[in-house]
Amino acid sequence: MNLKERHDRILARLRANETVEIGELSKVLEVSRETVRKDLYELERDGLLTKVRGGAILTSGDVETAYDLRKAKDAEAKKAIARLAAGLIQPGDTVFLDYGTTSFMVAEELLLFEGITVVTNTLPIVNLLIPNTSISIMIPGGIVRTNENSLYGPFGARNMDHLFMNIGFFGCAGIDTRAGITNHNMFETSFSTLAMEHCQKVVLLADHTKFDVVAAHKTAIPEDVDLIITDEAVPSATVLALQKAGADIQIAHEIGNA
């Protein structure tokens, strides 16, 4: 396999998964880890990816970010989930909002709230809530992931160690009875797992497209979650299977379908 073919395969894998790991690429491409590192540095030099510890992530450039694109997908179902989720927040709560686009829609529901604190590492949520001076915003911090406008890494994790929330809302790439709750990006996943441990109540926001799907990195198991909120298009058999496993599930109905 020549250099161009390797680069094409790396970029194809990156576009599909949003993140790649050096060890994984070494096996798939059948080359040394050092060769993969050189390939990643060359692709970063060309502005096609961002090199991070242990792998690489997408670079957004001047195109619409993956986060923006995902917000538009199944928007009505996500809005219904967000409305139900926001109803769980009490005055004075400290609320964690995870990286998912449904969490952004929860933040939209919070624009008229007063007297709560929001903890998040998602910059679009920060920018959305800043005009509401009645909400205190806390950003744990970290390394910027430009394609998602999010923050991750050990700096943010150290700060999260000192924060505790009343309730946290988390997204996912997939939820499966065997694999559990999974996500694509290994760096964001580890941060979300830590945040879950610091929330008194953990709520998973998962529209119907996330069920029976398995992504690369495990965030948690269903037993770690207090409540799963999904939309009315979720397969009933899947709901029953998760309920038998002990999951508490609430169905959000779109306006006009309630």
The structure tokens listed for 132 are 């509401």
Structure tokens at 212: 């029976």
State the CATH number of the domain containing residue 143: 3.40.50.1360
Sequential pLDDT tens for the chain (258 residues): 788 888 888 988 887 777 888 988 999 899 999 999 999 988 887 777 888 778 888 764 433 345 565 655 668 889 999 999 999 999 999 999 999 889 999 999 999 899 999 999 999 999 999 999 999 999 999 998 876 789 999 999 999 999 999 999 999 989 988 899 998 888 899 999 999 999 999 999 999 989 988 888 999 998 999 999 999 999 888 888 888 888 899 999 987 655
3-state SS, residue 210: helix
Q: Is residue 7 part of a domain?
A: yes
Could you give the number of structural domains in the chain? 2
- The predicted pLDDT at position 181 comes to 95
Residues linked to residue 180 through DSSP beta bridges, in sequence order: 176
Buried b / exposed e along 80-90 (16+ C-beta atoms within 10 A): bbbbbbbebbe
Separation between Cα atoms, residue 58 and residue 19, nearest integer Å: 7
Check whether residue 192 and residue 97 sit in a common domain: yes
Does residue 156 sit within a domain?
yes
DSSP codes of every residue in 7-60: HHHHHHHHHHHSEEEHHHHHHHHTS-HHHHHHHHHHHHHTTSEEEETTEEEE--
In this prediction, residue 231 carries a pLDDT of: 95
Contact status, residue 179 vs residue 146, Cβ threshold 8 Å? no
Instruction: Give the structural domain span for 86.
Output: 69-252
Question: Which positions ≥6 away from 62 have C-beta within 8 Å?
Answer: none
Q: Which pLDDT value is given to residue 66?
A: 56
pLDDT for the residue numbered 76: 87
54, 90: one domain: no
pLDDT at 69: 56
* Of residues 18, 27, 29, the one with CA closest to residue 52: 18
Q: Are 176 and 213 in contact (CB under 8 A)?
A: yes
Tell me phi and psi for residue 53, to 5 degrees. -60, 120
Please report the pLDDT score of residue 62 as a whole number: 37
The answer to whether residues 162 and 44 belong to one domain is no
Dist CA 59 CA 49 (whole Å): 5
State the helix-helix crossing angle for 22-29 and 33-45, rounded to 10 degrees.
110
Nearest to 93 by CA among 169, 166, 16: 166
Query: Rounded to two decimals, what is the model's pTM?
Result: 0.74
Whether residues 124 and 98 share a domain: the answer is: yes
Is there a single domain that holds both residue 47 and residue 174? Answer: no
Q: Specify whether 121 is located in the same domain as 211.
A: yes
Same domain, 44 and 88: no
Q: Residues 76, 134: one domain?
A: yes
The CATH number of the domain where 15 resides is what?
1.10.10.10
pLDDT at 147: 67
> Is 258 inside a domain boundary?
no
Q: Sign of the CA dihedral 196, 88, 113, 181?
A: positive
